[in-house]
Every structure is written in C-alpha cells, then in structure tokens.
Chain A
Amino acid sequence: MTLVRRLALGISARVVRWASPGYKEWAEGLEREARVIESDWAALRWALGSTRVLLDCRAAPLRSLDEVPAAVQKLVDGAMVFGTLILFRPVIDGLWFLRWFFVANSTLGRAGCAIGVLGSVIAVTYLLMEWRRLSLIERRRLNETYKDYIYNDVVACAHFYKEQLKSCHKLWIYSSSFLCWMLGKWMYDHYDHYLHVDMFTWVLFSAFILFILLVMLLVKQQKLRRIEEIDALLAERECGAEL
C-alpha cells in the first residue's frame, strides 16, 4: 500500500471516529468508498473532501417512534444537568455586581453595576423557571406515564417531545443577560475606574458574542431537524395506519 493510499485511509478512519453520531453512518460510507477508489490520489482527494462531514454536528437520527421515549428522557435529564451547572455563573456575577454597586463612586459606574445585576436576575429567573418546568411538571408527567408512552402511545410521546423541543427555543433570554453583564462591566470599568478598553479586548468580546450566536444557531438547527424527523415519522405512521 502506497503512502498516499495509507494517508487517505488514515484521514477517512479519523473522519469516522470524529464524526458526530448523526453522521457516523455517512462517514463510514465515505470511508468504504475511499477503499474502492482505484487511484491513490483520487482516494486522497476523496478522503480530504470527506472531512466536510466534521463541520456539522448532529445527534443520532430517530429511526422509529419507538426511540422517542428514550430521547425525551435524555432531553429532560440533559436540560436539568445543564441548567443546574450554568446556574452558578449568574449567581456569582450578580453578587460581584451588587458588591461593586455599593463601592462605586460615579453614578454611571453604579448604573453599570445595576445593569449587571439585572442581567443576573434575568438569567437566574430564566434558569429557575426552566428547571422548575422540567423537574416538577414534565418529570412527574413522564414518570407517571413513561411506561404507557413506551408500550402503548408512542405517538403521544412524540407530540410531547415536539412540544418540549419547541418550548426550548428561548436561549436568547439567557444570552441577553450576557449582554447586560458585558455592558455593566464596561460601564463600571470605564466610568468608575477610568479604564479604557483596548482593541484586543474588543476583538475578544466580539469573538465571544459570535461564538455564543453560533452555538445558539447550531442548537436551534438541531432542534428543527429533530422536529422534522418526528414529523416525518408521524406522517409515516399515519400513512401506515391509513393503508
């Protein structure tokens, strides 16, 4: 086996390993093709092109409605853990801003601290509401009827899953609190400590905001895909029932 061929197969194998669960099968398909391509250089070009699969990430697709109850449980559990973990950040930031509020010398510096506290209040309220919604209402409902969903009514469970996915589209509320913190910190530093923000900090800040926006878009895209998958499975089930 030539070096070029070995390189092509190595790249393909890594693409399979690193591909997100939803694209694993496709990555494997690409890898198998790379094995049968006769020209070594063509195989290498093929393998390099296959790295495109790594740019997108996606959860494993739902193949049947029977997989929905487990996906619902995963969504609820994941949201609970994530919500609990990111609850600490706004609480700590809020306490810092509150402390600065009382030691600030200028009115505008104090206003900045108030904006920061407001950001924390928004984030904490949002997270507590989400946490309560998931833990008290949905979890209880799931526990009571989880077995029914699995064995009797996967269609109801699929509709319930769709509701959950749609109601999770409110991450922008949490993100708005980030903006409040940034603005609050800038006002406090600028008006109370006369600190001037340099270019590097602005670039870093912009990159951070872009990153947050990208993550939000990715999450939203994944949810829309999942909703489409559920719709398609429900449509298939309806067609089957009609026949």
Chain B
Amino acid sequence: MSMKMRRSPQTALVLAEFLSDEQEWRYGYDISRNTGLKSGTLYPILMRLAEHRMLKTSWETAETGLPPRHMYKLTKDGLRYAREMVSVARELATGEPAFDGVVGL
C-alpha cells in the first residue's frame, strides 16, 4: 500500500507559487503571503511534498547575524508533478485545457 499525494486546491496553489519562479529558493512566510494559506495549512503540504521527494529543503547561510531560515525548492520530480497538477487545476477551473492542451511542459 502506498501513501498518495493529496490533490487539493491548496496543494495546487502552493505548486503554482513554486512554478512562478522555478529556480528560486522560497521562504515559508513568503509562500504563505502569496498564496494566502496559513502556516497550519501550508506546512503540512510542504511536508508531504518533501516526503514524496518533490521538495528539497535547505537552511539559508546566515550572514546578517540572524538565525538561518528554512528554504524550499521543487525537485525535478516536483516540477513535473507541479506542472501536471497546475494544468489539471486550471482545466477544472476554466473548463478548457490549460497551455492549449499541452500537459507537462
């Protein structure tokens, strides 16, 4: 038996946020602000993504004397999954295929 990723609208929101800048490491609070998700909703999603090896985590190297922050970025598998899921979510929302029907760009 395998534990599946939950395809919730909130997960789609988080993935879409990561796709807005694929190469950038993101902070939790920034994702929360941009998606409007509370920490109690956002972090379980991030944890599940990390569990499925779709998200990599890293600690920021502190230079300003402040304690390092936790950062997140999608892995290759995560990017593939994100594009697929965001595409499906857009299709459902608009009733039309996203990216002119091309999935997994």
Contact = CB atoms under 8 A, between A and B. Distances in A.
Interface of A: 23, 25-26, 28-30, 32-33, 35-37, 45-53, 56, 221, 224-225, 228-229, 232, 236
Given A33-B28, A46-B29, A228 B43 contact: no
Contacts of B93: none
A33 B27 CA distance: 8
A56 B43 CA distance: 12
A46 B67 contact: no
Contacts of B47: 23, 26
B66 A52 contact: no
22 contacts: A25-B57, A26-B43, A26-B46, A29-B43, A29-B69, A29-B70, A32-B67, A32-B68, A33-B69, A35-B66, A37-B29, A46-B39, A49-B39, A49-B43, A50-B40, A52-B40, A52-B41, A52-B43, A53-B43, A224-B2, A228-B52, A236-B53
Among A33, A35, A52, find the residue whose CB has the most chain B CB atoms closer than 10 A: A33
Given A46-B29, A228-B2, A30 B43 contact: yes
B15 to A, nearest CB: 18
Among B39, B47, B51, find the residue whose CB has the most chain A CB atoms closer than 10 A: B39
Looking at chain A's contact residues, the main secondary structure is helix
A228 B51 contact: yes
B38 interface: yes
Interface in B56-97: 57, 66-70
A33 B52 CA distance: 23
A46 B39 CA distance: 6
Contacts, number: 71
Nearest to B38: A49
B40 A225 contact: no
B66 A36 contact: yes
B51 A30 contact: no
A32 B66 CA distance: 9
B3 interface: yes
Nearest to B72: A29
Nearest to A56: B44
B102 interface: no
| 9 closest residue pairs by CB, A with B | A29-B70, A49-B39, A49-B40, A52-B40, A33-B29, A49-B38, A32-B69, A46-B39, A33-B28
Interface string B4-29: 00000000000000000000000111
B70 A25 contact: yes
B105 interface: no
